[in-house]
Amino acid sequence: MSTAKTNIPFSRESLEQTLKRRFFYAPSFEIYGGVAGLFDFGPPGCAFQNNVIDAWRKHFILEEDMLEVEATMLTPHDVLKTSGHVDRFSDWMCKDLKTGEIFRADHLVEEVLESRLKGDKLARGEQVKEEDEDEDKKKRKKKVKEIKNVKLDDEVVKEYENILAQIDGYSGPQLGELIVKYNIANPATGGKLEPPVEFNLMFDTAIGPSGNLKGYLRPETAQGQFLNFNKLLEFNNDKMPFASASIGKSFRNEIAPRAGLLRVREFLMAEIEHYVDPEEKSHPKFQDVKDIKLKFLPKNVQESGSTELIEESIGKAVATGMVDNETLGYFIARIYQFLIKIGVDPNRLRFRQHMSNEMAHYASDCWDAELQTSYGWIECVGCADRSAYDLSVHSARTGEKLVARQALPEPRTVENFEIEIAKKKFGPKFRKDAGTVEKWLTSRTQCEFEDLGKELAANGKIVVQVKGVDGDVELDTDLIKIEKVKRTEHVREFVPNVIEPSFGIGRILYSIFEHQFWCRPDDADRGVLSLPPIVAPTKVLLVPLSNNPELQPVVKKVSQALRKEKIPFKVDDSGASIGKRYARNDELGTPFGITIDFDSVKDDSVTLRERDSTKQVRGSIEEIVEAIKDITYNEGTWAEGTAKLKPFEGQSA
Amino acid sequence: MSTAKTNIPFSRESLEQTLKRRFFYAPSFEIYGGVAGLFDFGPPGCAFQNNVIDAWRKHFILEEDMLEVEATMLTPHDVLKTSGHVDRFSDWMCKDLKTGEIFRADHLVEEVLESRLKGDKLARGEQVKEEDEDEDKKKRKKKVKEIKNVKLDDEVVKEYENILAQIDGYSGPQLGELIVKYNIANPATGGKLEPPVEFNLMFDTAIGPSGNLKGYLRPETAQGQFLNFNKLLEFNNDKMPFASASIGKSFRNEIAPRAGLLRVREFLMAEIEHYVDPEEKSHPKFQDVKDIKLKFLPKNVQESGSTELIEESIGKAVATGMVDNETLGYFIARIYQFLIKIGVDPNRLRFRQHMSNEMAHYASDCWDAELQTSYGWIECVGCADRSAYDLSVHSARTGEKLVARQALPEPRTVENFEIEIAKKKFGPKFRKDAGTVEKWLTSRTQCEFEDLGKELAANGKIVVQVKGVDGDVELDTDLIKIEKVKRTEHVREFVPNVIEPSFGIGRILYSIFEHQFWCRPDDADRGVLSLPPIVAPTKVLLVPLSNNPELQPVVKKVSQALRKEKIPFKVDDSGASIGKRYARNDELGTPFGITIDFDSVKDDSVTLRERDSTKQVRGSIEEIVEAIKDITYNEGTWAEGTAKLKPFEGQSA
């Protein structure tokens, strides 16, 4: 892989050193030895993240009038039991009973088989790509320490390749079978491994002093939004469709975190829950985005074993049914616009559709925005149509209606089975169980009512089992009536479907680092981070030519002008050479430099330098600040922003 | 207590209903029955909080060039063991073994004694203040259900009053004695209570799949900043003094949360750690703030049993030594400026100094900014000089130096005891213990070296006990030498002191709600939230006079003008009357309304209404938008911002 701006190969090591040296981020608790999967952001990392969040808020929440919500991270057991996380939010792990070491089963199988394939290639005298070797070195640090030159049978090679192609699809027991069949052991010691067991990835804790209320740290921000649905709908004056949005930390107790910011235990998410009428998924603003061309990897292509991308407009993708509906398509296009704005390389962004076996049973369609990095294609944004699943399950569990209502253009007549309970007899007969039996009766579906009604008509009674009531429950026609009733409805009631764009902010930040990091051909030791001005941590570096006090009044004037326009800047009046100061700054991703020289003292003119091209222009303080403002906040290009200024060919760096 | 703008008494109930109805915040997981001490923020609450955070970032981080850090919430046991939280971050609780109910010991004693005093007053036929009754009702909901009219002896009344005055100062065993002495039982059942036991207030969890790495949710953001000290100092080019800052969630597993947003289990903090030379705590910008007058409640006044405030300039408070040093004083003044800017009533803000028995042993001075609410004076910001404690303990525990260096103006000669170890003999003699013994020897203080040196000189050997090594350790002059050595130092090395302003954002938000909520004399049913424009969730409500389509083009024009200036606004084109629409908006704290009428269609003029005074002015769209911008973002007053516009006396509301 080579960098975006030159042909110098991308070096992950060099990027990571730069990010660490400039304290974009660093392992948490490093002086205590660190904890895997936890990272702290330093000043430039914080500012970059804050700017991305700010851009996200403007691009989605403000632009689309979404309702922002902040729910708590602590979440009681019942909520996550209902959502399915208690039962299904897990990975498979294997333990080496002798050493106590724990491996994530799918990763272990993947790495061991990959290393055997590599050993086979070496034994056959084939070349192993440099890139692969680099990748391998990283991984071997973790588990597989050395590649053994062992030739495999051609058939075995095929089997391994076949397994690796579908490694994400195996269940725990299937992984267990692979481990036995292919004799996979602890790579470090050769020790035998226990069969895979499920490990829930939520961090648990106890809320309150008694220890009785079990809670978890939320694995996503979505549930807090669903639970507030009724309040949000009311806040929106009962108008549909609408969206809520949350920005906040979520948690995932990874078995063996690796790959830096891409797989961490505590991470920032930004999630949207767009509530829509299941019968009307068109979108009024779809017209505005329909011509945007995107790279798609639909499920049928993947299922045919290919990864070839289809380049197509989102309009066509929806028209042909490849993308399920307009609202989903609209968000896919808006995700694309957002990612490009904050620095993602469009050539390294694809939308991959979930295959049927990957997708939750209730979802009707799901596309991931994947960004290409040195770790492969990484899922950074998910965009799923989750149907009515979430609101339905919470409603069923709590008995609270979570529905929207639509005034019908014309009243309509509906015929439904209804049950009538003779309360006066019912209460005395069932006494303490009366409530339970009544709740059971009234929550039957239409089909069940039909069946029960038939039975009641035929036998004069029904006999049923009700959870929580001992023995049979017998009900005769004195107690209940089940009849088809005609009613005129003026309002249609429905459970909204949810379309959920979900962003992993840390993964996006890291991918942008990879996409925008490069080295100048004449200075391979120092990198440049070409972060777009809108998200760059600092916008301007002020560089007086020397620390001669004569220059100070101009530094002050420029500072005031920048402060007035609320443009974040730094002054570097260290003794270092101009070139060194700019190089330092290139690493921090600062897009503009203002040089103050002795001419500045005479006429208040200063030089503006652009980071990527190192082009320079000269102008008055006001003109230069105006140009920076234009390019940074009003989406102007360098050429547009500096059109009126004259190029400068002085003491450049 | 009456509201700020009128004499109508403040009603907490009415405020809370408004905040809930407008979804500023609500109990989390309400459809699941809720969890005490957890709250979600709805759209206006989120926007208000975001604006306060934004103002905080500008006021502190940008203005003072602080280094923002984001550390993780998950924190391993060792870090919080060192900081003292594992041992000391706790409250005392008592259990009723029969019912399983758990009480926070100090709160229980307080409430029971208060209710007895109230009962005594009633029995004596004295009046109980309405306000107190209201307070009482709230509490009785929790524990003490009814006040019994029982007269107490005069002496007992005095004892109770004396206990209540110092209720925050009792240890667990002392509370246990009070419970026995005054026969305090479970208020609901009269059941006997177990003696108080300590309950650690941190939420704990296990990090990773083995369950061996115990972790906690951080109780404050400070530790993550301290641990990054060396990286931050390097980022700051080794220049002192400097400050780091963090904004993020912290957690406290309250025994029995009450009082809404004031005592919650998950809360947003904003903390600054300002690192300063212990020998030089002056502040270059102290001059800018020295004349600011504040209300102080110093420790000597409290210790004399009074709560009378001293009003004085911060300059004088530092000069007289009441506030320990300039840097601490500077931050106290900056905290004041910030709180006033975002809507705190200056008449309900005091700075209370910690008394000696309240303050951590290492702290040299500590002041809380307390805000007066219907719950009493509430600590909302702490501002402590923590001396070198935090950096010292982490350094001692990890062996990592956490120091700053200062080039001395002139080299100086220092004489210190130093130890020399004969490694060749030392290693073979102590074998596996050699490292432990060496570490013990080299980490002695100067005094200890002096003593050990004397012993060694006198006896030719020393015999010591070393933790982790069995038996005596004998060292003779062949193995070690201890001598006073003269060296020339060019650099002074020191552990910085930390001055820590620490903000509880949720408490501040709630206090501002109380300070800024009032009712118009002519409409007591609907409240007004007079949030300052800079922090108001929405700045402008656009109100077309009717939903006549003729008005729509002007609505569009105004919307575009506001969007261009990035001023958050909402359109209310519902059919409700103008008055109703404005009333709805008063509750949301929106400071401006723009009315669009049929004159607007003719000449693009619109009316601007100010929320608090309901004053109105008329001007062109450009003029009106300019006025809003001025007042909201450039700290202009209404009079200044609208000076050029003519008053309007039309169809007002």
Q: A23 contacts in B (CB within 8 Å)?
A: 231-232, 234-235
Q: Would you say B555 and B648 are in contact if contact means Cβ atoms under 8 Å apart?
A: no
Cβ–Cβ below 8 Å for B36 and A205 = no
How much is the average pLDDT of B28-32? 96
Cβ–Cβ below 8 Å for A400 and B31 = yes
Instruction: Please report, for the domain that includes residue B146, its CATH number.
Output: 3.30.40.230
Count how many domains chain A has: 4
Q: Which residue of A has its CA nearest to B588?
A: A235
Cβ–Cβ below 8 Å for A232 and B23 = yes
Domain membership of residue A398 (yes or no) is no
Length of chain A: 653
B301 plus B379 within the same structural domain: yes
Cβ–Cβ below 8 Å for A265 and B43 = no
DSSP string across A160-201 = HHHHHHTGGG--HHHHHHHHHHTT---TTT----PPPEEEE-
Q: Which residues pair with B200 in a beta bridge?
A: B90
- Nearest CB neighbour to A253, from listed B22, B207, B251: B207
Q: Which helix (H) or strand (E) holds A409?
A: strand A404-421
Residue A136 has pLDDT above 60, yes or no: no
Q: A390 contacts in B (CB within 8 Å)?
A: none
A279 plus A418 within the same structural domain: no
Q: Which residues pair with A419 in a beta bridge?
A: A482
pLDDT in tens, A75-84: 999 999 999 9
- CA distances B148 to A645, B117, B121, B443, Å, are 84, 10, 10, 63
Domain membership of residue B533 (yes or no) is no
A241 plus A187 within the same structural domain: no
Q: How many CA atoms lie less than 13 Å away from B493 in the CB half-sphere?
A: 5
Region of A232 (left: φ > 0; alpha: ψ -120 to 50; beta: rest) is alpha
A521 Cα to chain B: minimum distance (Å): 27
Length of chain B: 653
Cβ–Cβ below 8 Å for B42 and A72 = no
The residues near B570 (Cβ < 8 Å, ≥ 6 apart) are B538, B540, B541, B542, B590
Question: Dihedral (C-alpha) A471, A477, A480, A485: value to the nearest 10 degrees?
Answer: 140
pLDDT in tens, B226-249: 999 999 999 998 999 999 999 999
The confidence band for B594, taking pLDDT boundaries of 50, 70 and 90, is: very high
A224 plus A357 within the same structural domain: yes
Cβ–Cβ below 8 Å for A40 and B71 = yes
Q: Count of CB contacts below 8 A, A vs B? A: 184
Q: Which residues pair with B313 in a beta bridge?
A: B293
Phi, psi (deg, nearest 5) at residue B41: -100, 130
B252 Cα to chain A: minimum distance (Å): 10
DSSP label of B260: G
Q: Determine the pLDDT at residue A573.
A: 84
- Token representation of residue A645: 């200024």
Domain membership of residue A403 (yes or no) is no
How much is the average pLDDT of A509-520? 96
Q: Which residue of A has its CA nearest to B22?
A: A235
Domain membership of residue B403 (yes or no) is no
How far is it, in rounded angstroms, from Cα B424 to Cα B480? 11
Q: Determine the pLDDT at residue B3.
A: 66
Of B541, B275, B207, the residue nearest A217 (C-alpha): B207
For A513, other C-beta atoms within 10 Å of its C-beta total: 26
Q: Which helix (H) or strand (E) holds B625?
A: helix B621-633
B101 Cα to chain A: minimum distance (Å): 8
Cβ–Cβ below 8 Å for A74 and B32 = no
A339 plus A210 within the same structural domain: yes
Amino acid at A375: Y
Amino acid at B240: M
Q: How many CA atoms lie less than 13 Å away from B632 in the CB half-sphere?
A: 25
Cβ–Cβ below 8 Å for A93 and B203 = no
Q: B26 contacts in A (CB within 8 Å)?
A: 228, 231
Q: Which residue of A has its CA nearest to B212?
A: A100
- Nearest CB neighbour to B26, from listed A42, A93, A231: A231
DSSP string across B358-401 = TS-TT-SEEEEEEEEETTEEEEEEEEEE-TTHHHHHHHHHH---
Helices of type H across A251-313: 286-289, 299-303
Q: B43 contacts in A (CB within 8 Å)?
A: 67-69, 232, 235
- Nearest CB neighbour to A43, from listed B29, B42, B67: B67
Q: Which residue of B has its CA nearest to A70?
A: B41
A33 plus A98 within the same structural domain: no
Q: Choose one of B494, B528, B558: the last residue of a domain.
A: B494
Q: Give burial (CB, 10 Å; 0-12/13-18/19+) of B440.
A: middle
Q: Which residues pair with B352 in a beta bridge?
A: B297, B368
Domain membership of residue B258 (yes or no) is yes
**Which of A604-613, B77-86, B473-482 is predicted least confidently?**
B473-482
pLDDT in tens, B367-406: 999 999 999 999 999 999 999 999 999 999 998 999 999 9
Amino acid at A283: H
Q: Which residues pair with B92 in a beta bridge?
A: B198
- Nearest CB neighbour to B32, from listed A32, A71, A78: A78
The confidence band for A3, taking pLDDT boundaries of 50, 70 and 90, is: low
Q: Choose one of B483, B506, B529: the last residue of a domain.
A: B506
A16 plus A113 within the same structural domain: no
Domain membership of residue A435 (yes or no) is yes
The residues near B71 (Cβ < 8 Å, ≥ 6 apart) are A28, A40, B218, B221, B223, B224, B225, B227, B228, B246, B248
Of B258, B246, B325, B320, the residue nearest B70 (C-alpha): B246
Domain membership of residue B521 (yes or no) is no
B103 plus B124 within the same structural domain: yes
Question: Dihedral (C-alpha) B614, B615, B618, B621: value to the nearest 10 degrees?
Answer: -50
Which is it for strands B376-385 and B569-571: parallel, antiparallel or unpaired?
unpaired
The answer to whether the bond into B241 is cis (omega within 30° of 0) is: yes
Of A393, A383, A409, the residue nearest A495 (C-alpha): A393
How far is it, in rounded angstroms, from Cα A231 to Cα B23? 7
How much is the average pLDDT of B438-459? 87
Q: Which residue of B has its CA nearest to A58?
A: B566
Q: Determine the pLDDT at residue B4.
A: 61
pLDDT in tens, B457-480: 999 999 998 888 888 999 999 899
Range of the domain at B217: 12-82+206-389+499-506
A350 plus A218 within the same structural domain: yes
Task: Identify the residue among A18, A24, A25, A35 best suited for mutation to test binding to B, counting B beta carbons within 10 A and taking the highest.
Answer: A35
How far is it, in rounded angstroms, from Cα B302 to Cα B353? 9
Q: Which residue of A has its CA nearest to B40?
A: A71
Kindly report the pTM of this predicted structure.
0.90
- Token representation of residue A70: 């902040």
Q: Which helix (H) or strand (E) holds A131?
A: helix A130-142
Instruction: Please report, for the domain that includes residue A639, its CATH number.
Output: 3.40.50.800
Instruction: Please report, for the domain that includes residue A485, its CATH number.
Output: 3.30.720.200
A349 Cα to chain B: minimum distance (Å): 28
B503 Cα to chain A: minimum distance (Å): 19
Domain membership of residue A142 (yes or no) is yes
Q: A230 contacts in B (CB within 8 Å)?
A: 31
Of A415, A397, A387, A418, the residue nearest A494 (C-alpha): A387
pLDDT in tens, B126-166: 877 654 544 544 544 456 767 888 889 999 999 998 888 77
- Nearest CB neighbour to B253, from listed A208, A227, A256: A208
pLDDT in tens, A370-392: 999 999 999 999 999 999 999 99
Cβ–Cβ below 8 Å for B72 and A40 = yes
pLDDT in tens, A226-244: 999 999 999 998 999 999 9
Cβ–Cβ below 8 Å for A224 and B253 = no
Write the secondary structure of B89-148 as one string of H (helix), E (strand) and C (coil): CEEEEEECCCCCCEEEHHHHHHHHHHHHHHHHHHHCCCCCCHHHHHHHHHHHHHCCCCCC
Place of tokens 């003094």: B241
A163 plus A100 within the same structural domain: yes
Q: A72 contacts in B (CB within 8 Å)?
A: 28, 38-40, 266
- Token representation of residue B605: 């003029």
B52 Cα to chain A: minimum distance (Å): 15
How much is the average pLDDT of A451-470? 89
The answer to whether the bond into A241 is cis (omega within 30° of 0) is: yes
The whole-angstrom distance between residue A190's C-alpha and the CA centroid of its chain comes to 37
Of B288, B286, B306, the residue nearest B298 (C-alpha): B306
Q: Determine the pLDDT at residue A368.
A: 97
Residue A223 has pLDDT above 60, yes or no: yes
B128 plus B34 within the same structural domain: no
Helices of type H across B249-355: 286-289, 299-303, 314-319, 326-341
The confidence band for A443, taking pLDDT boundaries of 50, 70 and 90, is: confident
Q: A253 contacts in B (CB within 8 Å)?
A: 206-209
- Nearest CB neighbour to A76, from listed B32, B47, B74: B32
Cβ–Cβ below 8 Å for B266 and A203 = no
Cβ–Cβ below 8 Å for A74 and B38 = yes
- Nearest CB neighbour to A255, from listed B68, B209, B265: B209
Q: Choose one of B200, B222, B255: the last residue of a domain.
A: B200
DSSP string across B282-296 = --TTHHHHTT-EEEE
Q: Which helix (H) or strand (E) holds A314?
A: helix A314-319
How far is it, in rounded angstroms, from Cα B169 to Cα B528? 39
Place of tokens 């076949």: A162
Q: Determine the pLDDT at residue A185.
A: 93
Q: Determine the pLDDT at residue B652.
A: 42
B100 plus B56 within the same structural domain: no
The confidence band for A280, taking pLDDT boundaries of 50, 70 and 90, is: very high
Q: B208 contacts in A (CB within 8 Å)?
A: 36, 102, 253, 255
How far is it, in rounded angstroms, from Cα A110 to Cα A164? 6
- Token representation of residue B594: 């723009």
Cβ–Cβ below 8 Å for B40 and A78 = no
Task: Identify the residue among B64, B74, B255 best suited for mutation to test binding to A, counting A beta carbons within 10 A and taking the highest.
Answer: B74
Q: Which long-range contacts (CB under 8 A, 24 or more apart) does A514-517 make?
A: A514/A10, A514/A12, A514/A15, A514/A373, A514/A374, A515/A4, A515/A343, A515/A344, A515/A345, A515/A348, A515/A371, A516/A4, A516/A343, A516/A345, A516/A589, A517/A3, A517/A10, A517/A14, A517/A15, A517/A18
- Nearest CB neighbour to A210, from listed B50, B100, B237: B100
Cβ–Cβ below 8 Å for A228 and B78 = no
- Nearest CB neighbour to B74, from listed A38, A79, A210: A38
How far is it, in rounded angstroms, from Cα A171 to Cα A304? 22
- CA distances A417 to A89, A283, A425, A440, B635, Å, are 39, 35, 22, 15, 64
How far is it, in rounded angstroms, from Cα B469 to Cα B431? 11
How far is it, in rounded angstroms, from Cα B436 to Cα B417? 20
Instruction: Please report, for the domain that includes residue A73, its CATH number.
Output: 3.30.930.10
Amino acid at A432: K
